[in-house]
Structure 1
């Protein structure tokens, strides 16, 4: 994983769709260390007071829903973009891009992402029924077709999984050989 100099969205409180439903029915709301007060009704507006006394206006926008009604969105106080979530940084509130926040999975190295993808595909096929499902050294031929899964679907999923595993191990082999020799080498899938 990369250095911990990045800030991740998982580490900050958010204003999301559930909060929005509550906020539309209340005049006052607390999130983390911020207080939100309703300041307008059409369209709904809120003033977020963040210690040490910074006040940020949060506006809402609506779009028509497919089957009638409306869908409410937050408006980022900085870029004015429509977003489903606003994040409460230490002394600020805004969208993910304006606060320069990242998802934790964006910092995972390529080799680890491929491993996670393989594990996810294995769980999609076999679920938790096989005890050795996360052991990537076990070949997929060691596992039986799950009961109730159509044969063609199983074979298609198995083909995609074996292709992904083959690419992963083909790209991993030179890296392991280089590490065995004491060298450093980047993982390059698909070569």
Structure 2
């Protein structure tokens, strides 16, 4: 798929919808797809309207629809049974991921064994908090590495 075009049909109150148009595949397998997605809205406390899409398959209100590789229609995360990135991280990798997030936030090179430095302009107290968290995670990473080394030795 290369491009998706849409038309927002908002002229009938209560029957607002998006009309999607896109092409799947190429060559002889090319398919021109037209898909209609119903819309609804809520009224936030601060005023205005918050628009939502209704999943064409699960009929649930969502803020985003997905078309994963190999998918043929836009649908909700639940309809496609898509998990979040954090759900796919093995428990033994979680300390490493958290450690890398801190390194990325501080603009440091990511990787176990790479130390962090205080970015220019960051308060010392804030950096000290990040450093304590980093040291804690670094210790957890060392424990996980020792566990893996122990398993390899068996």
Q: Scaled by the length of structure 1, what TM-score is found?
A: 0.59
Compute the RMSD of aligned alpha carbons.
3.3
**1:41 matched residue in structure 2:** 12
Structure 1 Cα separation of the partners of residues 149 and 86 of structure 2: 23
**Residue aligned with 1:137, SS:** coil
State whether residues 52 and 63 of structure 2, in contact with CA within 8 Å, keep that contact through their aligned partners in structure 1. Answer: yes
Alignment of 1:92-103 (within 5 A): 92-103=73-84
1:163 aligns with 2:136: yes
**1:123 matched residue in structure 2:** 104
**2:147 matched residue in structure 1:** 174
Asked which structure has the greater RCO (Cα within 8 Å, sep 6+), the reply is 1
Deviations 1:86-111 (A, max 9, x none): 12353333101112223445333333
Q: Scaled by the length of structure 2, what TM-score is found?
A: 0.70
Q: Classify 1:70/1:174 alpha carbon distance in 2 versus 1 (closer, same or farther; 3 Å).
A: same
Matched length = 144
Higher strand share: 1
Deviation at 1:72?
A: 0.5
Which blocks of at least 5 consecutive residues in structure 2 are unaligned? 25-30
Deviation at 1:84?
A: 0.8
